[in-house]
Amino acid sequence: MNVGFGGTRKGEEIAGMDAVTLKEKPLKMPAGTIQHLVFQPGDKPPFYAPHLDPTQYVGKLKGMRQILWERGLLKEGMSKSGGKDEKKDESMSMEHVLGEQKDFKEVESSLELLMARQGGFCLTLPKYHCEYNPIELVWGRAKHWTRQHCNKLREHVPLSFRAEEDRQAVQIVQAFCKKSYTHNLVHLRTGAVGPEGEKQYKVYTSHRKPAPSEYLKPSLRGYPPLVEFLAYLSSV
């Protein structure tokens, strides 16, 4: 989102942004207020450009400056990033202040919005944690094998995915699926990620391994489809 009005939001062509409902009380607007992120017909022009005609701003994104101003969070001297390096002040960063608002933290991505509007759903994994996704583990093993045998990259990369003992044997891929399944199971139960998630994973696996019934019939326990799919891959 730009500082000023207009421009396009990343992913706007996939799914336009809905209005947001404030989940906490800023200075000017009570919690529960619906704030449109796009200028609606009948809205006043941007506070810093009161001379504009409605045809110049209606239907366009409000921008961070206007949204913060409407919430009473705009401070004099604020910039998009709040400065650089040692002089950076997050309290003066429009991106940071707006990003810390609860409704913005919990906003759905364009992909999630698109799928929801089509009657589907999108399950996302925690960012930057490859252990939750077995394909990342498979890819990591492929890269390791390629580094060990790489004379001609174009020829050896496809070979790294062959179902052979030193590469992607079926039992190895199944083990990756089981590991990711268990990580997802622990995450669903504890909500922990990163070092704490790894700690909880070790605690869980030190006490027990998932029972065969958990892999074969996870839907009986109400697990999300992603975990059910990993369980299926682990059992085939």
Q: Is the pTM of this model over 0.75?
A: no
Could you tell me if 70 and 19 are in contact, meaning their C-beta atoms sit under 8 angstroms apart? no
pLDDT at 101: 83
Identify the three-state secondary structure at position 20.
strand
Of residues 68 and 26, which shows the higher confidence score?
68
The pair phi, psi for residue 21, each rounded to 5°, is -105, 120
Could you tell me if 115 and 40 are in contact, meaning their C-beta atoms sit under 8 angstroms apart? no
State how far the Cα of 160 lies from the Cα of 137, in Å rounded to an integer.
Answer: 13
* Banded model confidence at residue 34, pLDDT cuts 50, 70, 90: confident
| Domain ranges for the chain | 20-117, 130-235
The pair phi, psi for residue 51, each rounded to 5°, is -85, -10
For 165-224, what is each residue's pLDDT tens digit? 777 788 888 888 888 888 877 777 777 777 777 787 777 776 555 555 554 444 434 445
For 142-173, what is each residue's pLDDT tens digit? 888 777 777 666 666 667 677 777 777 888 88
State how far the Cα of 178 lies from the Cα of 233, in Å rounded to an integer.
Answer: 8
